[in-house]
Structure 1
Amino acid sequence: MSSDQRFVIVGGGLAAAKLAEALRANDFPGTVLLLGAEEWLPYERPPLSKEHLAGKKQLVDFTTAPGQWYRDHRVEVRLGTTVEGLDPAEKTITLPDGSTVSYDKLALATGSSPRTLSIPGADAPNVYTLRTIEDSDTLIEFFASAAQRIVIIGAGWIGLEVAAAARAAGVEVTIVETAEQPLLGALGPEMGEVFAELHRSHGVDLRLGAEVAEITTQEAIATSLANGVKLADDSVIEAEAVLIAVGARPNIELAADAGLDVDDGVLVDEHLTTSDPDIVAVGDIAEQQHPVLDRRIRVEHWANALNQPTVAAATMLGKEASYDRLPYFFTDQYDLGMEYTGYAAPGEYDRVVTRGDVAAREFVAFWLDSDNRVLAGMNVNVWDVTDRIKELILSGEPVDPDALADTSKPL
C-alpha cells in the first residue's frame, strides 16, 4: 500500500469509527478521511434508548474515541458534512459546497433514518423520533417536565425501550401497535407475548392490533402542538407528546444514485464489497450474502456496526476476509436483560422451545426448524450461554427438543 492513497469513509457512526481504527490497525499508511453528517464525533447508538435515556450515561461515555485518537492516528474527520454525490467511474465524491474529493477506496457507512408516518399531525414539534443524541436529550427533557403522558406509536425495540425509560421516570405510557404482539417480526408471537406481559406488568397501556389515524393537535403560540392520537376506531388517547417508533430505513440514496446495486440495502458479498470492487458497505445499509446463513440479510444492530469494519478494512487493503458472524442483538427493559443470537425469519421456523422459567422471565428460548435444527436462541436474564447457543446453531445438527427444554441437561 502506498502512502499516496486516500481511503474515504462516508458516515459518522460506530461503523465508520471502527473502520478507521481497523485501517490503522492494519498499518494502512495513506490518508484516511472520515465524513460525518452529525456535529459530534462518532458514538454508539444503543445508549440513546437505554443508559443515556435513563440518565446513567453521558455522551462522552459512549463516544467511540476522543478527538485526540483521530489526531494521533492521522484520521482526518470532517463533521457536519453530508456527501451530496458519488461518481464511481471518476472515483470522486461531491461535498455540500460543490467541491469533489477523490478516493482510491471508499467505504459507505451511512446508517439509517427513522421511518415516519404520513398522517395528519405528524409534523407537530412535540412529535418525536429517536436516532440521534439530540433526539434522546429531547426525550429526557420531556420526561423531566411537568408533562405526564406519552403515546408511542410502534412496539419494536426502540418503542419498548423508550417506554421502559418513560415508566421509570414516572410518565404514563400508551403504546399503539398495528400487529397482534410486540416485536412480532423479530421474535414471533410466542416471545412477543413475553414482552407484552412485561410492559403491562409495569403499567403500560398496550393497544395491539390498533392503527393510528391521526395525531391530534391543539393551537399554541405560533404553532400546533400534538395533544394525543386518534385511532382508526375513532377512540382518542390524550398525551403531551408522541413518539413515532415504526422502524428505520437504510440511507441508501447515495449508493442508489451512483448506480450501485441496491435492494432493501446496498448489496454486498461476504467480503462486504459492493457491485463496485473499490467500494465496501458496512452497518445498517449492508445487505450481505451471508456465508453461514446462505442468504442475503441486512441487520440493523450494534454488533454489525462493531464487527463488520474489521472485514471491510481487510477487503479495502486487498486481504482475504469474510463476515460470517451470526446476527446478535440485545435489549434491557425494566429488570429484563436479553441477548438474541442467530436468525429465525417469520414463517421460517417450526416452533419455539423454552428451558427455564418463562413466567419469572429467566429462561432460554430456541427457534427450531421442521428438522429440529436450532436457527436462533434468546437468553432472558440467563447469562454465559451465548457461546453454547452459537455452537448449537453452527453445528446444523438436529436436537432433541425435550432434552433442550430440560434444565438438568447441559446445553
Structure 2
Amino acid sequence: MRHVAIIGAGQAGSNLAAKLRELGFDGRITLIGDESHPPYQRPPLSKAYLTGKLAADRLALRGPSFYAERCIDLRLATKVTRILPADKRIELGPESLAYDGLVLATGAAPIPLPEAIGGSLANVFTLRTIGDVEAITPHIAAGKRALIVGGGYIGLEVAAALNQAAVDVTLVELQERILGRVAAAETAAYFRTLHAERGVKLLEGVGLVALEGQGSVGKAQLSDGSFVDVDFAIVGIGVRPNVALAEAAGLAVENGVSVDAQGRTSEAGIWAAGDCASFLWNGRRIRIESVPHAIDQAETVAANVLGAKRDYRPRPWFWSDQFDVKLQIAGLNGGYDRIVERKGAKPGSCSYWYFAGETLLACDAINDARAYMTAKKLIDAGRSPSPADVADGVLA
C-alpha cells in the first residue's frame, strides 16, 4: 500500500495519520479537512474557549510543523465531493486523487433548528467548530439574554459558560428532564440543582414553538404559552453522523457508516473511524461520540490498514465540565435497571453506578476521581462489584 487518504481532519483523522507513521508506514498520506484550521480539540469549544479563557493556539492537537515533518499532506479548506470505490479515487472539486486505502473520519454535524420555526434568523447558532464560536463570542456580554435549546451535555456546558460570563441564560428541554437520553435521573437531579443555584433558568418538559424577530432573533415562543426575550440562541439538540459521501458511494450506512470489528466498511479498501462510524456492541449497532474513542478506534484502524487484523475493543469514557464540577463517565449505561449512589470523600462529591442485574455497566463520578478510576478499571476488566459493596464503599 503506497497511498492512504483520510477524509476528515478532526481527532480521529489526525490521530490515524500520526499512527500510520508511528507504525512505520513510509508511503504517502493525505489528510483532508474541510475547515481552514489545522486539526484541533473540540471539547473546549463549549467551555473555556467559548468565554475566552483558552487561547486559540492551545486548541491545536499538534504543533504547526508536525505534519510537514512526517510528510503528511495536510489539505485544509478542501471538500471531497465524491468517492469512486471501483476506481479507488476521490474527487475534490475539479481534482481527482487516487488511493490504495481510504479512511472516512468525517465526524458528525449539529442538527439545525428548522427554518420554519426560526432556524434561519440571525443570531441563532449551533456549536461544533471554531467558526461557530467565533460567530457567537461577539454576543457574549454581561446582561445579554441567551436561549439554549436542548438539555444534553453540550447545552448544559454552554449554559454554564455563558452564566459565568454574566449572560442571562434560559435553557429549554422538551423532554421531561435534562440529560434524559444519556444519564440517570439522579445525575440529572444533581446538575439541575447546580444550574438552578447558579441562576440558570432550566425549563424541563417545555419545547420551543418558534423563534421570532425581524431579521435576527428577539423572542422565543415556548410550548407552555410563555414568551422569552432573547438576544441570541444556541441550539444543542444533538448531532448526526456525516454519511453523505458514504451513502453516495454505495457504502452500508446504519446509524453512521457501518464498520466491522476491525473498522472495515462494506467496500474493500475503505475503513471508517470516530464519530461517523457505527459498530456492533453487545448486539446493538452504536456510535460513540468521545475523544478517547476517536483516538483508540482511529489507532486500531491505522494498524488494520497496514494488515494487523486487530479487533477494536471500545473502552468508553467521557467527561463534562460545568462550573466547578467535573463529571467523569466510565462505560455505557444502556440497559441499566438499577442505580446505586455512593458518597465521595470530599464534600459535594458522589458517584452513581449503573447495574443491569448484578452486572456493572457504567458509572457517573461527580468530583470523585477515585470512584471514576475504580469503575473504569472494573469495567475494563469485566468485573462487577455487588451493588451492596458499592453502596458501602467496598470497591476492591
Q: Which runs of 5+ in 2 are unaligned?
A: none
Q: In the alignment, is the contact (CA less than 8 A) between 1:350 and 1:369 conserved in 2?
A: yes
Alignment of 1:198-347 (within 5 A): 198-217=194-213, 219=214, 224-290=215-281, 293-345=282-334
Q: In structure 2, what is the Cα distance between the partners aligned to 1:243 and 1:26?
A: 42
Matched pairs, number: 395
Q: Which of 341, 364, 379 matches 1:393? A: 379
Distance in 2 between residues matched to 1:397 and 1:327, nearest whole Å: 15
> Which segment drifts farther, 269-278 or 248-257?
269-278
Aligned partner letter, 1:89: A
Corresponding residue of 2:354:
367
Aligned letter for 1:334? Answer: F
Take 1:361 and 1:183, find their aligned partners in 2: how far apart are those partners? Answer: 20
Contact 1:379 1:385 in 2 (8 A): yes
* Inter-CA distance 320–384: structure 2 relative to 1 (3 Å threshold): farther
Q: Which residue identity is paired with 2:220?
A: V
Secondary structure of the 2:212 match is strand
Give the alignment's Cα RMSD to 1 decimal: 1.7
Q: CA deviation at 1:367?
A: 0.3
Does residue 1:382 correspond to 2:373, yes or no? no
- Say if 2:263 and 2:301, in contact at 8 Å, map to a contact too: yes
Task: For residue 397 of structure 1, report the CA deviation from its aligned partner.
Answer: 5.0
Contact 2:3 2:101 in 1 (8 A): yes
- C-alpha change, 1:34 and 1:171, in structure 2 (3 Å) is same
CA positional deviation for 1:358: 11
Rounded Cα–Cα distance in structure 2 between residues aligned with 1:397 and 1:68: 44
Structure 1 residue 54, shift from structure 2 partner: 3.2
Query: Is structure 2 residue 75 aligned with structure 1 residue 75?
Result: no
Which residue does the alignment assign to 1:6?
Answer: 3
What is the distance in 1 between the residues matched to 2:384 and 2:313?
Answer: 21
2: distance between equivalents of 1:368 and 1:210? Answer: 30
Residues 293 and 315, structure 2, Cα contact 8 Å, conserved in 1: no
How big is each residue's C-alpha offset from its partner over 1:296-317, in whole Å with a ceiling of 9 and x where there is no partner?
2201111122222110100110
What does the per-residue CA deviation read over 1:324-372, in whole Å, with 9 as the maximum and x for residues that have no partner?
A: 1321110100111011011112xx21111011059953012110012x2
Normalised TM-score (structure 1): 0.92
1:67 counterpart SS class: coil
Contact 2:374 / 2:395 at 8 angstroms: preserved in 1? no
Is 1:184 paired with 2:180? Answer: yes
- 1:19 equivalent in alignment to 2:10: no
Structure 2 CA distance for aligned equivalents of residues 305 and 170 of structure 1: 34
**Residue type at the aligned position of 1:363:** C
In the TM superposition, residue 139 of structure 1 has moved relative to its aligned partner by 2.5
Q: For 1:200 and 1:29, how far apart are their aligned partners in 2?
A: 55
TM-score, structure 2 normalization? 0.95
- Structure 1 runs, 4 residues or longer, greater than 3 Å off: 357-361, 384-387, 394-399
2:80 alignment partner, SS class: coil
State the distance in 1 between where 2:180 and 2:240 align.
18
Give aligned-pair identity as a percent.
Answer: 35
Q: Which amino acid aligns with 1:231?
A: L
Contiguous gaps of at least 5 residues in structure 1: none
In the alignment, what sits opposite 2:395? 410
Q: Determine if contact 1:353/1:404 at 8 Å carries over to the other structure.
A: yes
Residue matched to 2:51: 54
**Inter-partner Cα distance in structure 2 for 1:54 and 1:47:** 10
For residues 143 and 42 of structure 1, what CA distance do their matches in structure 2 show? 26
- Partner of 2:375: helix, strand, or coil? helix
CA shift digits 1:168-227 (9 cap, x unpaired): 00001000101111111000323212111111111111110011110011x3xxxx1101
SS in 1 for 2:12: helix
| Distance (whole Å) between structure 2 residues aligned to residue 18 and residue 125 of structure 1 | 36
